[in-house]
Each structure stands twice: as structure tokens, then as C-alpha cells.
């Protein structure tokens, strides 16, 4: 079996914007010796080759700071009038399935991905959506991942395109941009300029009406074929959370 990692490394990066910066404290092996001594084991009884164990603490990391999957709870407290699922409530069978890449790398920055873009791509490549598939939107903007401009550039999904995927039975979808919608600073700027309250975050807000999850900050979608692989995207089981980091992988049978 061949496995392709679609997740970004979790590490401190000073170029990340402050709201997604990760801080991890790495503890050296030797510190564990003093912890064991404090718990009551005399130094003379330590194994001869025991130098201690390494340990690490995540001191700061938002659940949306790295490659992650958003739960319905992220978009709204309710979906179609019922309580939205938090990440620990998302069924695991949503998180594993046949994968399909939709190539939208040709889309220009700030041009939304439409339903027509998706149906044309599927038709041109003789592809079809199946219920339970995990759909990956390739924009190529993962090349900006780790730079100061990552959240400021790229295309993004429209509400109509998101509705379309859900209506085809897709529960989990993902993108290699910073977010699912058009870039956040651009949406804020355009909403203020046009005074249009329906412009902002409208792809995310599909989740008020229809239940689905999406992944953000995927990487390496360019190394995948359009079909012929499975996707696993199992989130950390954080009770009550709106999202969770996930090690997203594509798997190919030999």
C-alpha cells in the first residue's frame, strides 16, 4: 500500500499570523530522571542505561491552526433547527472513504469556485460523484502554506458549489487553501465596500441548513490522481470542540 500525507507539519512558524501560531515545548530526556526521583525512586535503583524519556507539551494551538476538519458546530449551533454535531460527535464512517480530487488550480485569486466549475470538471474528465466520497478541492495554494500571505490569497468555494456537493451525498470535503471560503481579509474588505451582509462567509454558512464537514489547509493534493485512492481523516476526539487537527492521508492499494 502507498500512503500520501496530506497534512502539514505541526510546528512553530514565526511567519504564521498570530491567530494560528503554534507553540510546542520540547522537554529533554534528562528532566524525566528528576521526576522519577521526586516520585520516590532512588538514583541508585535507576536502570544503568536510563537517561530519561523525552516529553513535549503543546502550549498553544488552536484547533483551526493546522490541517484540520471542521465539525457542523463550527458553522452554527444548529443545522436545520437541530443541534449541530461537535467534532467528537462526527461519525467515524464519514471520515474514511473513496477519494476524488477536483482540480481548480486554474481559478484566479478571489474568484469563487462555482457549481458550474465543478460539473464542468467532472464532465470533462468523465468523473462522477458517489455518496460517501471524500472530495478534495485542489487550488495549488498550499505553496503559500507557512508564509505570511497564506490566509490572504487564493480562491475558495461558493455557497452554491458547497450545496451541490452536499446534495450529491458528500459529507466530508476539503481544500488546500487556508479556508473553505474566499480569503477572509478579502471577504471583509468586499463586505464593507459593498455593504452586502450576504457576501461574508456564505460557503461556511451552508452548514446552517445542511450537515457536512470540511477540511482546510490540506497539502500535497498535486501528488494525487483524480481518483483511485481512499482518504482517511480521523480527527482528535476533543469533546465539545468545533474542529480538530487530523492526520489526513490518501491510500492506494498496490
Domains of the chain, first to last = 23-60 (no CATH), 68-252 (3.50.30.50)
* 23's grid cell: 507553540
Gyration radius of the chain's alpha carbons: 21
Quick: pLDDT tens for 185-209: 999 999 999 988 888 889 999 999 9
Residue with cell 466549475: 117
User: What's the length of the chain?
Assistant: 254
Q: Count of CB atoms within 10 A of residue 129's CB?
A: 18
Helix H segments across the chain? 31-38, 72-75, 115-124, 159-167, 184-194
Q: Which residues have CB under 8 Å from 168's CB, separation 6+? A: 129, 131
Residue with cell 473513496: 98
pLDDT band of residue 144 (cuts 50, 70, 90) is: very high
Give the sign of the dihedral formed by CA 237, CA 243, CA 247, CA 253: positive
Among the residue ranges 42-51, 150-159, 193-202, 218-227, the one predicted with the least confidence is: 42-51
Quick: pLDDT tens for 66-110: 999 999 999 999 999 999 999 999 999 999 999 999 999 999 999
Report the DSSP pairing between strands 55-60 and 230-232. Answer: unpaired
Amino acid at each position: 500500500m502507498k500512503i500520501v500525507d496530506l497534512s502539514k507539519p505541526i510546528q512553530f512558524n514565526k511567519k504564521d499570523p498570530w491567530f494560528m501560531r503554534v507553540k510546542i515545548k520540547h522537554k529533554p530526556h534528562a528532566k524525566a530522571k528528576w521526576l522519577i526521583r521526586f516520585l520516590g525512586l532512588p538514583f541508585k535503583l535507576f536502570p544503568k542505561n536510563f537517561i530519561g524519556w523525552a516529553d513535549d507539551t503543546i502550549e498553544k494551538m488552536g484547533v483551526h491552526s493546522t490541517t484540520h476538519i471542521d465539525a457542523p458546530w463550527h458553522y452554527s449551533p444548529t443545522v436545520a433547527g437541530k443541534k449541530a454535531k461537535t467534532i467528537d460527535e462526527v461519525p467515524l464512517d464519514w471520515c474514511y472513504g473513496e477519494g476524488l480530487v477536483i482540480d481548480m488550480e486554474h481559478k484566479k485569486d478571489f474568484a469563487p469556485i462555482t457549481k458550474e466549475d465543478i460539473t464542468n470538471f467532472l464532465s470533462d474528465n468523465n468523473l462522477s460523484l458517489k455518496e460517501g466520497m471524500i472530495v478534495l478541492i485542489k487550488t495549488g495554494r498550499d505553496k503559500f502554506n507557512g508564509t505570511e500571505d497564506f490566509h490572504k490569497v487564493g480562491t475558495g468555494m461558493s455557497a452554491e458549489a458547497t450545496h451541490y456537493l452536499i446534495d450529491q451525498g458528500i459529507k466530508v470535503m476539503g481544500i488546500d487553501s487556508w479556508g473553505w471560503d474566499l480569503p477572509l481579509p478579502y471577504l471583509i474588505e468586499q463586505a464593507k465596500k459593498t455593504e452586502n451582509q450576504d457576501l461574508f462567509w456564505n460557503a461556511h454558512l451552508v452548514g446552517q441548513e445542511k450537515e457536512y464537514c470540511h477540511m482546510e489547509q490540506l497539502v500535497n493534493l498535486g501528488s494525487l490522481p483524480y481518483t483511485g485512492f481512499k482518504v482517511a481523516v480521523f480527527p482528535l476526539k476533543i469533546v465539545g470542540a468545533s474542529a480538530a487537527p487530523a492526520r489526513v492521508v490518501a491510500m492506494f492499494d498496490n
